[in-house]
Amino acid sequence: MPDIRAPAQERFRRLSKEGAWVFLGQASAVLGSLAGVRLLTEMLDPAAYGELALGLTVASLVNQAVLGPLSNGITRFYAPAQERGDLGSYLSAVRALLLAAAAVIAIMILLAGAGLMIAGRMQWIAIASAAFLFAGLGGCNAILSGIQNAARQRAIVALHQGIEPWARFLLAAALLLWLGATSTVAMAGFAVAVTLVLGSQYVFFRKVIHGNGAAADRSSWRQQIWKYSWPIAIFGIFTWMQLASDRWALELFATTQEVGLYAALLNLGYYPMSIATGMGVQFLVPIFYQRAGDASDHSRNAGVASLSWRLTGIALGLTGAVFLAALLFHAPIFRIFVAAEYASVSHLLPWMLLSSGVFAAGQIIALNLMSQMKTQMMIAPKLITALLGVALNFAFAYWYGIAGIVIAGMLFSVSYLVWMAALARHEETHFLSRQSGKET
């Protein structure tokens, strides 16, 4: 008699192995980010660190409005392409979309350079150019990682995700020692590091991802990916405005030194928390997408939704625990990971962690909607909460400085989580009512 437990045990072993790789990659990324904060805050004064933070807002524009949305669409359609045995056409469409994205980024570089020249900010052209290069190459790296993650090539993804932060900060530090401690040199180090990681990622990608088929239906996949991605690109522009407005609001109403202090708080509180909570999301993305398939089966969608709610609850519980720990130990945490001249903002660390965790929980719910191909209905909440976040950042920066920015971020995260949860619940209720009507 066959052992019916064998498939379940094999599945558990496979998922455990994949989960271990995701954990190792993300843990290495978190440690690299924390070590990098310490390293760069020791080598750059708050003003130069603030300039670097402002330069990185350029990189986030490329990620949020161009390559990030494209990465979501490309990753989402890997599973359907694999199910249909049409990876050749799919990969051909990916190449065409990446070429179009490269053209868009080139236009953005030219426009940014012209704008800075007209504004008389010639000193910003070098760091802006390096930021665009860093963002473009990093976005391509994220797309390759997304496809490999969808293909369940966890070890390769973990390897590069774990190495990238260490390479970025160590190469930046080396260039700072060689060429001088400026924000432009640090950004150039970031660009060099991501170039090396991208080269390694591409070599592994060619070895493990093989397109089959004659690539005759490239236009179909291109259209599907674009239809899925363009709403993300639209609200990505507004998301970028919200993400960048905190630093630019401080630059407008305070000083670049204040931006540097806030950037240290952001890098120590918001980003590591985002990476940590994103660990579970990365593990589940291919599982969500494979379970949902092409999102035409309502029972498969319901299973994805149930899993999403459970993960959201876990993320909020972990966020609460981290928040309480930071309330008790924020001062020693800053002494370990940040240079002494940045310690004046350590008391805001718990609230930055809380804001990041609440937003991450909202992103998990958004993943549920994306798995069901419902990106267009996310446009309104994404746009409105992002504009609310921009308004809050400028208002609270004017009134309360860095503390005000942290408060504004908390209010934005809560509003985003509540709206995403309401939208997901509405869709579930709507589906149940339709099913009830059919049965009647």
pLDDT in tens, 417-427: 999 999 888 87
Instruction: Please check whether residue 89 is in contact with residue 221, taking contact to mean a CB–CB distance below 8 angstroms.
Output: yes
Separation of alpha carbons 41 and 49, rounded Å: 7
Count CA atoms closer than 13 A to 330's CA, side-chain side: 21
Q: How far is CA 56 from CA 13, 51, 270, in A?
A: 40, 9, 15
Q: Which amino acid is at 300?
A: R
User: Which of the four pLDDT bands, split at 50, 70 and 90, describes residue 284?
Assistant: low
pLDDT in tens, 204-237: 888 766 655 545 566 788 998 998 888 888 888 9
In a domain, 16, yes or no: no
The whole domain housing 79 covers 24-435
Q: Which amino acid is at 209?
A: I
φ and ψ of 217, to 5 deg: -115, 40
Separation of alpha carbons 190 and 263, rounded Å: 16
Separation of alpha carbons 432 and 435, rounded Å: 5
List the beta strands (DSSP E) in 228-281: none
Beta-carbon count within 10 A of 335 CB: 12
Q: Which residue has the higher pLDDT, 208 or 382?
A: 382
Q: Is 127 helix (H, G, I), strand (E, B) or coil?
A: helix
Q: Which residue has the higher pLDDT, 7 or 111?
A: 111
What pLDDT does residue 30 have? 78
In a domain, 280, yes or no: yes
pLDDT in tens, 68-117: 999 988 988 888 888 888 888 888 899 999 999 999 999 999 998 898 89
Instruction: Please check whether residue 333 is in contact with residue 347, taking contact to mean a CB–CB distance below 8 angstroms.
Output: no
Q: Return the structure tokens found at 199.
A: 């080269």
**Where do runs of H (alpha helix) occur along 209-348?**
218-253, 256-265, 271-292, 298-337
What pLDDT does residue 236 have? 86
Number of domain units in the chain: 1
In a domain, 364, yes or no: yes
CA-based nearest residue to 221, from 66, 401, 80: 80
What pLDDT does residue 4 have? 44
* Whole-number average pLDDT of the chain: 84
Q: Which residue has the tokens 């051909």?
A: 92
Burial class from Cβ neighbours inside 10 Å (0-12, 13-18, 19+) for residue 438 reads: exposed
Q: What is the mean pLDDT of residues 364-372?
A: 80
Displacement of CA 213 from its chain's centroid (Å): 32
Separation of alpha carbons 400 and 397, rounded Å: 5
Q: What is the mean pLDDT of residues 55-80?
A: 88
Q: Which residue has the tokens 């909440």?
A: 381
What pLDDT does residue 211 have? 57
In a domain, 19, yes or no: no
Under DSSP, the state recorded for 254 is S
Q: pTM score, two decimals?
A: 0.81
In a domain, 5, yes or no: no
In a domain, 17, yes or no: no
In a domain, 411, yes or no: yes
In a domain, 285, yes or no: yes
Whether the per-residue pLDDT at 348 is higher than 90: the answer is: yes
Q: Which amino acid is at 274?
A: S
Separation of alpha carbons 308 and 315, rounded Å: 11
SS3 content of the chain, % helix, strand, coil (to 5): 90, 0, 10
CA-based nearest residue to 175, from 185, 161, 164, 183: 185
Q: Return the structure tokens found at 404.
A: 């005000």
